[in-house]
């Protein structure tokens, strides 16, 4: 397929490489994100703006950091909808507002296009390995059209419901992951402060009911102090803000989401804190306890 892929950052770059390796022709956009030389060597074509990308693509995928970025790329003067052909499919794989997603989809429908929201979970490693979890909102026909691409990118592919449902699911995912990162950090800092070896505590917990992917992967990052971003903390902070915005609209309380967001806010206040991996949340708990996991 001729695919436009806009947003070639930490997640988008390996996703695009997998699609190229699967035999698809990809076109990127030079004024949205830097283009990795490996992508150019693999055969990525580039255009100056999203409209030009859309003009040569039957499917356009966006993988962008936040709602305003998606709005600019889709609806801006040189945006996707300014160049796209009727009958094309837009797949937004960013993590953004469900309400805005429905608005963007409506504009796409007015232009005679199809639209899916399909945010992902699994981080950079999942993008590289093609093992992402993909949460999809949209109609059945569009999902079937996109399925060959989703199968290149992910393993757990779930059609959640109508437009916006994928984004709602991703927010739920980010609540679980964020609160679990906080719980793992809190437990390991507690263990260190109490005089136990946090590495051995983690090893013991992995064999019991407390075992989780977060304890396995992010717990190890915390112990090794490896905070190179697989998923940046400022993006997780953005997602928890989306959760609380939606909760206000729904009239419900998310008390532990709110408290975890405040810890991410504290991390963001540190120099370069927002650019660290979200497992760096442990640094805030260490500060509160005057205890580091590495002694």
Which of these, 287, 93, 255, lies nearest to 179 by C-alpha position?
Answer: 255
**Contacts by 274-277 with C-beta closer than 8 Å and gap 24+?**
274/232, 274/233, 274/234, 274/237, 275/229, 275/232, 275/233, 275/234, 276/227, 276/229, 276/232, 276/233, 277/218, 277/221, 277/226, 277/227, 277/228, 277/229, 277/230, 277/231, 277/232, 277/233
Instruction: Give the residue numbers annotated as catalytic, written as ranges.
Output: 170
Q: What is the dihedral of CA 35, 39, 45, 50, to 10 degrees?
A: -40
């Amino acid at each position: 397929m001729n695919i436009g892929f806009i947003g070639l950052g930490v997640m988008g770059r390996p996703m695009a490489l997998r699609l190229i390796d699967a035999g698809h022709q990809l076109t990127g956009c030079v004024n949205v994100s830097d283009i990795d030389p490996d992508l150019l060597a693999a055969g990525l074509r580039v255009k100056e703006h999203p409209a030009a990308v859309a003009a040569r693509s039957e499917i356009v995928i966006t993988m962008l950091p936040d709602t305003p970025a998606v709005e600019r790329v889709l609806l801006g003067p040189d945006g996707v909808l300014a160049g796209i052909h009727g009958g094309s499919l837009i797949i937004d794989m960013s993590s953004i507002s469900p309400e805005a997603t429905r608005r963007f989809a409506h504009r796409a429908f007015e232009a005679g296009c199809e639209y899916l929201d399909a945010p992902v979970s699994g981080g950079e490693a999942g993008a590289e390995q093609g093992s992402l979890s993909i949460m999809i909102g949209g109609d059945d026909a569009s999902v079937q059209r996109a399925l060959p691409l989703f199968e290149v990118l992910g393993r757990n592919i779930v059609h959640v419901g109508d437009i916006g449902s994928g984004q709602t699911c991703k927010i739920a995912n980010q609540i679980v992951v964020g609160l679990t990162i906080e719980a793992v950090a809190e437990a390991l800092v507690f263990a260190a402060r109490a005089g136990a070896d946090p590495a051995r505590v983690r090893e013991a917990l992995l064999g019991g009911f407390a075992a989780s992917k977060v304890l396995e992967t992010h717990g190890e990052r915390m112990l090794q102090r490896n905070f190179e971003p697989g998923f940046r903390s400022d993006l997780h902070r953005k997602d928890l803000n989306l959760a609380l915005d939606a909760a206000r609209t729904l009239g419900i309380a998310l008390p532990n989401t709110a408290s975890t967001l405040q810890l991410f806010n504290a991390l963001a206040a540190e120099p370069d804190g927002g650019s660290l991996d979200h497992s760096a949340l442990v640094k805030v708990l260490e500060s509160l306890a005057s205890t580091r996991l590495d002694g």
